[in-house]
Structure 1
Amino acid sequence: MKIFLKRLNDAYHFETKNERGDVVHLDNKSEADPQGGSPMDLILRGIAGCSSIDVVMILKKQKVELEDLQVEVEGFREDGAVPNVFKKIHLNFILKGEVSSAKALRAVELSMDKYCSVAKMLEKAAEISYEVNVNGEKVEA
């Protein structure tokens, strides 16, 4: 895996590109008009994407088709700390469709506890928690 970064202006706007040519823009969130996500923003997007891919893959193997999957991720940092890393990350998985609460919960558990490489990497630095909601109802473990 290889990423290429190129500065696009005289401030903090960067273009990153992977070996396939997929482009993601980065910027400093303190800029007046940021032209991309901040690096820390992309970390939260990474855990959401990684775990969502796992959840969909696990449910597809069980022949469960989702109508919708959304994930809300919130990262908590210690104000004023340098470096200002995430201390806690909380994910809220919101699933809709013909999926049982038990299967949804198990798919999320497998992702977060075993398969999601981003979560496994981040758990070394931050406390990671999650909740699961299916068709508008919170699933209790």
Structure 2
Amino acid sequence: MKKNTVTTVWKKDMVFESDNPNGHKIQIDASEENGGTDNGLSPKALMLSSLAGCSGLDVVSLLKKMRVEIDNFTIEITGELTEEHPKYYHAVKVDYHFYGHELDEKKVEKAVTLSVNKYCGVMEMFRKFATIETNIHYHNV
């Protein structure tokens, strides 16, 4: 069974530095209204970024295997927090935006569906506590 370990170190005030298993580092901070300096990613926003990154890596890899050409690809995720503490995302909307000339919509949809339903482990973790809505948007340029 594979395990991942990260180390997160308090730097000062509300700033932390966290690594990942291959050594890359990110800075985590709170907003000014929450006592931070707003010079890093917030923990909850980082969760949404993790979801986008996980699914995005799947989709790009699958499209490459399918030999689908795209000019650009963005993922916009909106998470809705609960009102009461502990606040967590109870609803998440994932919008996939594909840009290109004569996009193969059938293959793009297949790649997104495979990521959402089979490959993205972060998506599966989110399903444990949130409802997830996904949408695909095509921008033929």
Instruction: Determine if the TM-score, normalized by the shorter chain, exceeds 0.5.
Output: yes
1:139 maps to none
Q: Compare 92-101 and 57-66 and name the one that shifted more.
A: 92-101
1:32 Cα deviation (Å)? 5.5
Cα distance in 2, alignment partners of residues 86 and 19 from structure 1: 26
- State the one-letter code of the partner of 2:26: V
**Residue correspondence of structure 1 range 1-141 to structure 2 within 5 A:** 1-9=4-12, 11-29=13-31, 30-31=34-35, 33-79=37-83, 81-98=84-101, 99-135=103-139
SS at match of 1:3: coil
Per-residue deviation, residues 75-101 of structure 1 (Å, max 9, x unmatched): 00112x111110000011001125311
Cα distance in 2, alignment partners of residues 19 and 110 from structure 1: 26
Cα distance in 1, alignment partners of residues 10 and 130 from structure 2: 30
Structure 2 gaps, min length 5: none
- In the TM superposition, structure 1's runs of 4+ consecutive aligned residues that sit over 2 Å from their partners are 29-33
- State the one-letter code of the partner of 2:136: V
Cα distance in 2, alignment partners of residues 8 and 124 from structure 1: 32
Identity of aligned residues (%): 29
Q: Given that residues 6 and 18 in structure 2 are in contact (C-alpha distance below 8 angstroms), is that contact kept between their aligned partners in structure 1?
A: yes
Cα distance in 2, alignment partners of residues 78 and 91 from structure 1: 18
- State the one-letter code of the partner of 2:8: L
Cα distance in 2, alignment partners of residues 125 and 87 from structure 1: 6
Q: Given that residues 68 and 104 in structure 2 are in contact (C-alpha distance below 8 angstroms), is that contact kept between their aligned partners in structure 1?
A: no
- State the one-letter code of the partner of 1:73: I
Q: Size of the alignment, in residue pairs?
A: 135
1:33 Cα deviation (Å)? 2.6
Cα distance in 2, alignment partners of residues 34 and 135 from structure 1: 33
Q: RMSD over aligned Cα, in angstroms?
A: 1.6
- State the one-letter code of the partner of 1:75: G
SS at match of 2:37: coil
Q: Given that residues 104 and 134 in structure 1 are in contact (C-alpha distance below 8 angstroms), is that contact kept between their aligned partners in structure 2?
A: no
